[in-house]
Structure 1
């Protein structure tokens, strides 16, 4: 296999050039983000300790990043920490002799993560506030000079939330300890009322315990729990009852549909033979009716026939008695006790 060295050299050069270009862009971006090429001026401040300075915290003014701490060391003359920092030139007009740097500490780790610059506004004219030169000292809020400046010119630094809460609590306790406090009486009256209400609540609690309401409530709760346990069984039985009712309704609907047309029902039961049966019954009834009509017509003749039959039977009875009384035939014919009686109406 033959290699083209010229093409390979071009590829290597192109690859290296692209890598160098990306590296240059990255370096320029990092330097730009760190304001390496920006115009800035150096200043310093003095702190009581170097807590948090290891991370080189940023400096803000009303939330805008205007500088950064560059280095710090211990000043053996002043026994303080000297922190060197720079400020962007465009924000230099914000600095005056009355500007103060305040450390912003992390609420959990108790480390300084940034500095905030505070400069008085509208408190005095520019003639009263001399301009600051590069390399000058910017007061820190923990210094005595900054505290004196704030005391003489009013509140420059905002109070921390925790400091405000502690100050309010301290003020409240101080006012309560004063004998001439006009609100002391009302406060103590309120405390006395709270104590009386607590005492009444204790009495009510004791009376409730003695009355047995709690025990009854416990029993009611236990009964409720038992009822709740039996509730699924009741629901199951109710479901079974509803199923039976449903089946009964279905059967009722079937019966109603069957008896809605009785002719068809009778036809199915008798196999369509009911008209013939009823016709035969009518014929038999007509025959019986005719026979009864003839009997009713011949009732007088029938009465005479029955009467004559009764006379014949009476004579026959007498003959049998005579034969029975004959010494020769005595005992040969048994006497009939029950006489035949025919009643004609």
Structure 2
């Protein structure tokens, strides 16, 4: 059953990240906070229309509210995939206009589309006409030599004429030549003030900010200026941040070990479906990030496979043993820590 994302205020989301925001990570992330919005990895229209649509579109019902991020620039194909996403039960659809990699540029996907606001508007119009669920855009503040605030505002205004009113803005420009995708997340300076100004100039639009946000305090600060915050890699490496963000809705902080106990039936199910253990456990390595037992937890989970039912049972035993060792270590560290 889908959930009306529009009612979730503030909008706090986990950014779409290739090879990271898989369905295994999304199930794990949901256990920390019922209100965060989860995004799929970017899925190209070609992968859906000419590949294994079920593999790309399937998710667990627990992941709601969930957004499918599409990559493409053909209005007809994007409309077809949007209709498929709605039929699949997604709560929202997002068009990627922010990815700077060479591979997607060659296919006219991602940040390079900021140079063609009319084409993006045509794509969004076609997508909106094909579905009843919200369609949103994730974009940069600029690309290459097109990096002024006025140019970004023109892009947003052009797309907003289609009726789209929700823009997620990565507060860095993208340099499409000479920088890797990783460097494009780190080298261009953050210009949060441009995103704040966009919200001030277009108060009727729903504006979310993305880029370099790592703490609950930083999130609170941004929410003074915009409608939502999207967090990327920090939410992956330190997933307990998602639990801390639950305080925005008055939620109590959950216990890490209770979260893992709730994760175990899912792991067992995935192992029995034939998923390698390491494919699943790589997403939960950050459970104890910033705590004394974090290293022991990562070491205990690294590697491993489960190919038979006996292996599955042993894998679960090993995970529970890792939890117990980590819990014992944390208790020991707490006892040895001097009182203040």
TM range (shorter): under 0.3
TM-score normalised by structure 1 residue count: 0.20
Q: Which has the larger radius of gyration?
A: 1
Q: TM-score, normalised by structure 2?
A: 0.20
Higher helix proportion: 1
Which of structures 1 and 2 has the larger relative contact order (alpha carbons within 8 angstroms, sep 6+)? 2
